[in-house]
Amino acid sequence: MERLQKILARAGLASRREAERWIVEGRITVNGSVVRKLGSQADPAKDSIKVDGKRVRPAASPLYYAFHKPPGVITTLNDPEHRPDLTPYLAHLGEKKRVFPVGRLDYNTTGLLLLTNDGDLALRLAHPRYGVKKLYRAKLSACPTDEDLAHLRKGIRLDDGMTGPARTRVVDKLKKNAWVEIEVQEGRKREVRRMFEALGYFVEKLIRIRIGSVSLGPLPQGELRPLSQIEIKSLKRDVGLERS
């Protein structure tokens, strides 16, 4: 017997967090009965488990992709407001290679997004507890002062508490503004934008260029590539799923 959210994540249908939301919303049935209680268990080999009336297929082989998210795209596979989402970019993979995004990128933020059907890895990569580092490149409305960069390195106060120390540096100083790199590991909502806004800077562009040891590299916007075995093992090591 396994928890329903784990079964759904392992089948490549959603992250565990999203699967929990589906359960609470009453979208899951086990042997014809709606299940709304988190922590409910089932046997994927014996029970009939359905999502919105569709039978959950057995767990697929693990899949891992890097995707370059364009601006103006919602990081979901089914947006209730019918905004542009990830579905068109993944359609060519087919039903047998269903994957879901690990974490989120803001609507206008571009860059590296990991996609997988490995629920255990996705859960840990997105959880602040495991401290997976994420590197961003931000174009600011002005060049930050050394004092402000020092504040970021120590941590600053946001409306939801203090941020952790962030590694940051100016990589390209322009006439009126600058490109800055910043590395964070907490994964709060709109964290990087809010950190700069708290210091009086507007983020004109934001690109995520690395998660853990996986880099965006030259991957074009809207394209995806399979992760290498070295990248997969490295990510698993980062979250304690692979021994060194």
Distance CA 166, CA 170 (A): 13
Among 236, 230, 209, CA closest to 130: 236
pTM beyond 0.85, yes or no:
no
Phi-psi map region of 28: left, alpha, beta (phi>0 left; psi -120 to 50 alpha)? beta
Residue 95 above 80 pLDDT? no
Q: Which residue has the higher pLDDT, 102 or 10?
A: 102
Find the mean pLDDT for residues 174-196: 92
Query: Do the Cβ atoms of 192 and 136 come closer than 8 Å?
Result: yes
Q: What whole-number percentage of the chain has pLDDT above 70?
A: 97
Q: Which of 49-63, 100-114, 229-243 has the lowest mean pLDDT?
A: 49-63
Domains, the chain, ordered by start:
2-55 (3.10.290.10), 64-128+213-238 (3.30.70.580), 133-211 (3.30.70.1560)
Residue 62 token pair:
């693990």
142-171 pLDDT, tens digit each: 999 999 999 999 999 999 899 999 999 999
Residue pointed to by tokens 């929990």: 20
Given a cut of 90, is residue 211 above it in pLDDT?
Answer: yes
Active-site annotation holder among 47, 79, 85, 106:
106
pLDDT at 59 over 70: no
3-state secondary structure of 171: strand
**Per-chain mean pLDDT for the chain:** 91
Percentage of the chain exceeding pLDDT 90: 64
How far is residue 139 from each of residues 108, 136, 176, measured CA to CA in Å?
Answer: 13, 10, 11
pLDDT at position 144, please? 94
Element (H, E) at 41: strand 41-42
CB 238 within 8 Å of CB 212:
yes
What is the rounded average pLDDT of the residues 225-231? 96
Contacts for 113 with CB less than 8 Å, ≥ 6 apart = 66, 67, 68, 69, 75, 101, 102, 103, 105, 208
Residue 106 is a catalytic residue: yes
Q: What's the confidence (pLDDT) of residue 13? A: 78
Are 12 and 59 in contact by the 8 Å Cβ rule? The answer is yes
Mean pLDDT throughout 50-61?
Answer: 82
